Structure 1
Amino acid sequence: MSRRISPRLLTACLVLALGAGTMAASGPASAGPAQDTGQIRIPDPYCYDEPSQPDADLSDLKAAFNSSNWMQILQAMYKRRWPSGEALAIAQADDKYWDQFVDKRSFEGFAESMMVAIHEETHMWDLDPSRTEWDVHTAAWINSHQQALTVPLHGGFPRKEILPLIKDSLSSSMDDIYLRDETQGEYRLQGVLAEQNAGLTGLPAVTVLQEYIKGIGASNARDIAATNLRYLLLYLRVAKDKHPDYWAKIKAEPKLRDLVLTQFLRTAYWLEKSAPYTGKLGSKDADKITAANYAPQNIAILEEFTGRKVRLDSQKHCTA
C-alpha cells in the first residue's frame, strides 16, 4: 500500500473501517474514559482551543526511532507537541490496522505518514460499534479532553445530493470519490460527519510535525479539512431546502448542533495554525474552499442550525 496519500487511498481505508467485521476494538481504558461533553451545552461566547507545542524538541526521539519502537516514539512525540494525538494513540494502541498506515522506514517518513495514520485511527475510534450505530448515532474524537458520544443522526439522505451546490472544481478530486462514487455517494450524514472528523484530526497530526515532512504524503491535509467542512455546510443547506422533515429532526438535537459548531470552529482553528505551511500541507485551493465556506448562505445555515453567531474576523475559531 502506497504511503503517498491520495483521496482514493483515504476512501479505501474508510471502506475498510466501515466494513462488517473489520472494525478494530479500541482500548480507551488506558487513556481514561471518554468524556461525553454533549451533555453540557457549549458556552456562549466560546472559542475552540487545543494545547500544542510545535517547537518542542524531538531530536532525541528522531535519533532513537526504529521500526520496532515506533508506537513508543509516536506517543512520546505527541505528548510533547500535541497531547490529543498522544491520547488517541494510547486509546488505539492495540489496533491491528496501524501497520497499514505507518511508514517505519525513517523518522521523516514516519512523521509524514501521520496524516493518514491519525486520520484512519480516528475512524477506528469513532466508528467502533461500541460507540457508533451506523445512521442512528455517531461518536467523534475531538481532542484529549473532549469526545462527542451518542450523537443522534436520524439517517438522512445521500450526500451526493449536495453536488449541484458545488459550482467550482476546487474539490473535484474528492467530489469524484465521496459524492460521485456509486457507493460513497450514497452515504448519509454519518458518512459526512465521519470523514469530516477524521480529516480534521489528520491536519493537526502533521501541522505539529511539519519540519520533518519532506515528501508529498501530507500535501492535501488542509484541502481535506476545508473540503469536508464544505460538505457538511452544503449538507445542512440541502437538508433545509429539500428535506424539511429531516431538517426539523436534526435541528432539534442539541448534541448534533454542538458537534457541528465545534467542528466549524475547530476547522478554523487548525486551518489558521497550518496556513504558514501551505504547499507542504495543502494547496492554495484550500484557502479558496475556505473562502467559499464563509459565503453568506453557508454562514447563515450554520448559525440557523446551531443557534450561535460565529466571528468572521481574525478570531474565526470563536462564537460572537
Structure 2
Amino acid sequence: MSRRQLPRLLTASVVLALGAGTLAASGPTAAAAPSAHGTLQSRAAAPYCYDEPSQPNADVSDLKASFNSSNWMRTLQTMYKRRWPSGEALAIAQAKDKYWDQFVNKRSFEGFAESMMVAIHEETHMWDLDPSRTRWDVHIAAWINAGQQGLTVPVHGGFPRKEILPLIKDGLSSSMDDIYLRDRTQGEYRLQGVLAEQNAGLTGLPAVTVVQEYIKGVGAGNARDIAATNLRYLLLYLRVAKDKHPDYWARIKAEPKLRDLVLTQFLRTAYWLEKSAPYTGKLGSRDADKITATNYAPENIAVLEEFTGRKVRVDAQKNCTA
C-alpha cells in the first residue's frame, strides 16, 4: 500500500487496503535465525523459542486516572513501556504519523485500550509500508518487536492470494475470506499482501492482550481470530506455491531471509495465541482455536518445515523449534 492510499479503509477490524506502491519487511540475516531474545544464531544451532518481554500486570492505574484526549500519545507510550516494550518502541517510531487519530479512541481509557488492536495494527502497516523500507512485490519489511525487525526481505511477486480459497474447507474464517480473498481487488494481492496483513494482524494481538482488563466492548473481539486466520493464509499460500507454482516455490525457498521471517511469524503467532488464550470471548471467538487446529494439520506443518528447513514443536511449546 502506498501512503497516498491511506484514507481508504476496509474492515476486518479496520483494514488498510494495500495498493500499487511499495511494502517493507525485515528479518534475520541470510545465515541466521532469531533467538529467544531477538538476537541471531546459526541455522544449525540448537532449538530456540520465540518470546518477548511483557508485564501485563504492571500498574497503570495512574495512567487511567489522568487520561484525557490531549495526553493519549504520552499515555500510550508509558502504558506500553510498563507492559509491552515493543509497543512503546513502535509508538515512538510512529509518533509523528498523522493517521494515528483515525484509529485511537480518546473518549475514555477503556475505549482507548480497546482501540489499540486497530491502532497498533494500522501503525504496523505504516511502518512496514514506508517507502524507505519497501518496494512493491519486490521486497518487504516487518516490525516484529522492539529488538527485531525484518528488512529488505525478497518476495519475488508471486500469484494472487485468492488461489488459496479451494484449500479452505470450512467457514471459520469466512468474514476475512470475503475481504482478503474474494474481494475483486484484495484477492489479487500476492505474497506481499499475505505477509503484510499477517504481520499487522499479529502485532495487534499483544497490543490488547496486555491491557485486556480494561477492554469492556467488542472492538478487540476478533484479535485472536485475525492472528490465526492470517497464519492460515500464509501456510496455504506456501502449499499452493509448492503444488501449483513450482518455479516460484523454488525461488522463494532459496531466500534465507524470507524463510527466517516465515519461521519467526509462525512461532510468534503461537506465542501470542497462547498468551491471549485465557481471554477468549473478549479477544477472540472459539473459532480462533479451531482455525489454529487446522493450521497444525500435518500437511501445513510439512510445508512449513520444508520451506524453513526447521522442525517445529506441536506440543505445549508451540512457540519453539524442535
With structure 1 as the length reference, what TM-score do the two structures score? 0.91
**Could you tell me which residue of structure 1 aligns to residue 144 of structure 2?**
142
Counterpart code for 2:280: T
Aligned match of 2:259 in 257, 261, 279?
257
Question: How far apart are the structure 2 equivalents of 1:284 and 1:12?
Answer: 21
Change over 3 Å in CA distance of 1:36–1:176 after alignment to 2? closer
Identity of aligned residues (%): 83
The equivalent residue for 2:29 is 38
| Larger helix fraction of residues | 1
Residue 46 of structure 1 deviates from its aligned partner by 1.4
- Aligned residue in 2 for 1:31: none
Return the offset for 1:9: 2.3
User: Does residue 1:288 correspond to 2:290, yes or no?
Assistant: yes
Q: Which residue of structure 2 lines up, in the alignment, with residue 4 of structure 1?
A: none
Query: By how many angstroms is 1:201 displaced?
Result: 0.1
In structure 2, the partner of 1:151 is 153
Q: How does 1:154-165 map to 2 (within 5 A)?
A: 154-165=156-167
8 Å contact from structure 1 (residues 18, 127) kept in 2: no
Partner of residue 126, structure 1: 128
Counterparts of 2:206 and 2:163 in 1: how far apart (Å)?
A: 30
Deviation at 1:13, TM superposition (A): 3.9
Counterparts of 1:36-75 in structure 2, within 5 Å, are: 37-42=28-33, 43=41, 44-75=46-77
Match of 1:319 in 2: 321
Counterpart CA distance in 2 for 1:140 and 1:262 is 11
Provide the rounded CA distance (Å) in 1 between the counterparts of 2:56 and 2:48: 24
Counterpart of 1:204 in structure 2 is: 206
Give, in whole Å, the separation in 1 of the partners of 2:259 and 2:197. 17
Code of the residue aligned with 2:234 in structure 1: it is L
Please list, as runs of the form range in 1=range in 2, the aligned pairs for 1:137-286 lying within 5 A after superposition.
Answer: 137-286=139-288
In the TM superposition, what is the alpha-carbon distance from 1:65 to its structure 2 partner?
0.6
In 1: Cα distance, 2:30 partner to 2:254 partner: 14
Aligned length: 302
- 1:137-159 residue CA offsets vs partner (Å, 9 max, x unmatched): 00000000000000000000000
Gaps in structure 2 of 5+ consecutive residues? 1-8, 34-40
1:297 Cα shift?
0.1
Seen in structure 2, the aligned counterparts of structure 1 residues 8 and 250 have a Cα distance that, compared at 3 Å, is same
From the superposition, tell whether residues 18 and 99 of structure 1 become closer, same or farther in structure 2 (CA, over 3 Å). Answer: farther
Deviation at 1:37, TM superposition (A): 3.2
CA contact (8 A) 2:134 2:140 kept: yes
Check whether the contact 1:38–1:149 (CA below 8 A) recurs between aligned residues: no
CA RMSD of aligned residues (A): 1.7
Give the whole-Å Cα distance in 1 for the aligned partners of 2:11 and 2:299.
Answer: 32
Distance 2:275 2:111 in 1: 22
CA contact (8 A) 2:222 2:283 kept: yes
- 1:18 is displaced (CA, Å) by 4.0
Q: Deviations over 1:166-199 (max 9, x none)?
A: 0000000000010000000000000000000000
Task: State whether residues 83 and 144 of structure 1, in contact with CA within 8 Å, keep that contact through their aligned partners in structure 2.
Answer: yes
**What corresponds to 1:111 in structure 2?**
113
1: CA distance between counterparts of 2:26 and 2:160? 30
Q: Is the CA contact (8 Å cut-off) linking 2:173 and 2:229 kept in structure 1?
A: yes
TM-score (norm 2): 0.91
Looking at structure 2, the residues matched to 110 and 101 of structure 1 have their Cα atoms a distance apart, in angstroms, of: 9
Tell me the CA shift for residue 35 of structure 1.
8.2
| Structure 1: 5+ residue stretches without partners | 1-6, 24-33
Cα displacement (A) at 1:300: 0.1
Separation in structure 2 between the aligned mates of residue 56 and residue 12 of structure 1, nearest angstrom: 28
CA distance in 2, matches of 1:203, 1:169: 22
Asked if structure 2 preserves the Cα contact closer than 8 Å seen for 1:11 and 1:177, the reply is: no
